[in-house]
Amino acid sequence: MKGIRAWLGAAGAGLWLSMAAPVHAEPEPIRFADLNWESGSLITELLRYIVETGYGLPTNTQPGTTITLETALAKNDIQVIAEEWAGRSPVWVKAEAEGKVAGLGDTVKGATEGWFVPEYVVKGDPAKGIAPLAPDLRSVYDLPKYKDVFKDPESPGKGRFLNSPIGWTSEVVNAQKLKAYGLSDQYVNFRSGSGAALDAEIASSIRLGKPVLFYYWSPTPLLGRYKLIQLEEPAFDAQAWATLTNADNPNPKPTRSLPSKLSIGVSTPFQTQYPQLAEFFAKVQLPIEPLNKALADMSKSRTPPRQASEAFLRNHPEVWQAWLPKEVAAKVTASLQ
């Protein structure tokens, strides 16, 4: 009987100890936005690699359009948008004013966006036997007289403007710009199904030496690969800009886009929970030329963004090591080997 009592006591003590022992659960993955353009996907994977190998934290990605991802960030449903064009969409502006999101750092200096044409459209290309098609094209206000140059194959009598895909903040802005510049009746607002489809349409036209008018931005492989001319637009005006970002505004005003500032967008709860990552994100700066080259290489060889990000980290330790504490940088370096 004593033996049974002793066994029961030991078993009970063991059970109590097992219940009292702390359970070390795996941390929840940090939720990154799955961005569907080259620079966004490359920077996302670059940050994820450092977070995983340098800080030992798991990550995942969640897809969506720009607007839905910004909405999710404000709700902390996702935690990081690796390439946030801060201050551009009403969703972001409202969330930032309410203290729900923050833009960390100034990640890519020299970024730009606007309306472009291939250089040969204005200047010609004697080597390829291309004569200038729009020799006086300088500004968006010159576009009416060249609508036949950029003829839309499905709408005779109108030109074609290649806009961003639906769901991007820039798609709304460009649609409003067409109205503000008096071009709605003269140009078709053509929206590709995806960023990849937009790239394919532009690249195909340039390979064939055809005229093409399109919205684009940097950092991108496209601007590093081809000679392009950005059309002049009116000087930036903040009040006019507010009319361009509002798709429901019936009377948008003309202005060039808000000067580009790329940041890493984070939710406020993330910033509080992971101060060490917020400090790292705030220091991220990517030089435009190496970044454009990496993007061009990734596009040309169809390298997956994760693999391209690892190549960038190997090739440019002088860039990213400055963002990190020495012990974290050492872990990332070791993992790359």
- pLDDT above 70: residue 142: yes
The whole-angstrom separation of Cα 139 and Cα 47 is 38
Q: What rounded mean pLDDT belongs to the chain? A: 90
pLDDT band at residue 107, thresholds of 50, 70 and 90?
very high
How many CB atoms are closer than 10 A to CB 268?
18
Q: What is the pLDDT of residues 174-226, one digit of tens each?
A: 999 999 999 999 999 999 888 888 989 999 999 999 999 999 988 888 887 88
Question: Any bridge partners for residue 265, and if so which?
Answer: 81, 103
Q: Using the predicted structure, report yes or no on whether residue 337 has a pLDDT greater than 70.
A: yes
CA distance 123 to 137: 10
Q: Is the pTM of this model over 0.95?
A: no
Confidence tier at 27 by pLDDT (50, 70, 90) = confident
- Name beta bridge partners: 230: 116
Based on the number of CB atoms within 10 Å of its own CB, is 275 exposed (0-12), middle (13-18) or buried (19 or more)?
exposed
Q: Can you read off the two tokens belonging to residue 89?
A: 């969409």
pLDDT of 9 > 80? The answer is no
User: Rounded to an integer, what is the distance from CA 74 to the centroid of its chain?
Assistant: 17
Q: Average pLDDT, stretch 14-38? A: 71
Exposed/middle/buried for residue 29 (C-beta within 10 Å: 0-12, 13-18, 19+): middle
pLDDT of residue 24: 56
pLDDT digits (tens, 9 = 90+) for 28-72: 999 999 998 889 999 999 999 999 999 999 999 999 988 899 999
The string of pLDDT tens digits covering residues 216-266 is 988 888 887 889 999 999 999 999 999 999 999 999 999 999 888 899 999
pLDDT digits (tens, 9 = 90+) for 189-199: 999 888 888 98
pLDDT score recorded for residue 48: 98
**Which pLDDT score is estimated for 299?**
85
- Amino acid at residue number 102: A
End-to-end Cα distance, the chain: 63
Parallel, antiparallel, or unpaired: how do β-strands 101-104 and 262-267 relate?
antiparallel
Query: What are the counts of helices (DSSP H) followed by strands (DSSP E) for the chain?
Result: 15, 10
